[in-house]
Structure 1
């Protein structure tokens, strides 16, 4: 190993170590460490951040397997979604509109129920949900109060989240969607795993290598007595 290669290896190990993720999982090339690891949003959690776009077939292919996986995880494993908005991209207006729809549903607590339905509407049915009227009508047809939807859609909080989306992509070094980042340190994508569905296997492996956060707060049992 050359001095340059050795230095690179040491740096890579240090970067991954910041997030407490073992380095050996990169051996098969199914994920890559971020150059600048990011803190998790909630303390004492194992976090998976998913970047997606409603207009992306690979994002749609990932969604159901990832949802099924997340539903089986303990409480300390958190799935956080961020809609993809590429700065200066030809489809940026569509991406922003889809991001606005997502953040509106998130504010109303409807993402878990309707995320797959939005993909089906956009990808399978070819619906244009890029205007407030079309999005509100679709939401109303899916048992979302139209007044509440409109209020959230037009809220400054949702507008701010849409504006921050491109910055989030840059912060997590996302160059491909869908992308999943585990514990703010390691990113996997379809080009690395071979398919969107296979990403879930890699995510599961990375999460399983992290210490369960609930274990940090358990009081050891003594003399057969329950912890106080």
Structure 2
């Protein structure tokens, strides 16, 4: 289904009683800590396009202007650096007009082979990007702004990527960002069991090994 988006540039102790074998008890504890439930800690999603990427990999749905996504970037990059064998795809959400406008910027960055400057652009958004900052981004990185905005506004690939992200999120009822899908199949659910980075990525690791 084709969807149309308007374009404007501007723009997440219990004490053990009795005696037990230390090794056996440790295995029991680890087993308890690794018990996750479908529809509580994760849920199955469908029809996610991940091209020819093979497990293990992660897909992150995000928005450039989302404070939670911006704060999630550092631990996400840390996890990626510690697990270089894990593939990664980033998809920009388009669940509102502002998100769609920023999605055009993100996908144009891909389309014009300028993803090397993504981190810098993301930091600009985090700092509160304005017209001056946006202009300086192009000048500093020697990006042809006129050509870039032409791609952002008219490229069929940009529009297709936006439509794909929109359809995947709406079909799977993914309503917030950042949202991470593991191996194109398991969506991590925010809960008290994932309320810090250590617990969050522990669940991610569990799902990466799940058939």
Bin of the TM-score, shorter chain as denominator length: 0.5 to 0.7
Quickly say closer, same or farther: Cα 1:199–1:116, change in 2 above 3 A.
farther
Quickly say closer, same or farther: Cα 1:104–1:116, change in 2 above 3 A.
same
* Paired position in structure 1 for 2:94: 85
* Paired position in structure 2 for 1:115: 118
- CA shift, 1:96, in A, is 0.7
* Paired position in structure 2 for 1:56: 66
- Could you list the per-position Cα deviations for residues 39-72 of structure 1 after superposition, in whole angstroms to 9, with x for gaps in the alignment? 6432533221101111211111111221232233
Give the CA RMSD over aligned residues.
Answer: 3.1
From 77, 82, 97, the equivalent of 1:67 is 77
- CA shift, 1:85, in A, is 1.5
* Paired position in structure 2 for 1:152: 151
* Paired position in structure 1 for 2:109: 105
* Paired position in structure 2 for 1:13: none
Q: Secondary structure at the match of 1:48?
A: strand
Quickly say closer, same or farther: Cα 1:110–1:178, change in 2 above 3 A.
same
* Paired position in structure 1 for 2:164: 164
The 2-side partners of 1:99 and 1:196 are apart by 26
* Paired position in structure 2 for 1:17: none
Q: Secondary structure at the match of 2:58?
A: strand
- Could you list the per-position Cα deviations for residues 90-118 of structure 1 after superposition, in whole angstroms to 9, with x for gaps in the alignment? xx22101110111011223333x333322
Structure 2 counterparts to residues 134-145 of structure 1, below 5 A: 135=134, 137-145=135-143
Q: Does the aligned pair in 2 maintain the 1:51–1:179 contact within 8 Å? A: yes
- Structure 1: state its 5+ residue gaps: 1-23, 87-91, 212-228
- CA shift, 1:191, in A, is 4.1
Q: How many residue pairs align between the two structures?
A: 175
**TM-score, normalized by length of structure 1?**
0.63
Structure 2 counterparts to residues 175-214 of structure 1, below 5 A: 175-191=175-191, 193-195=194-196, 198-207=199-208, 209=209
The 1-side partners of 2:147 and 2:170 are apart by 32
* Paired position in structure 2 for 1:18: none
The 2-side partners of 1:46 and 1:206 are apart by 9
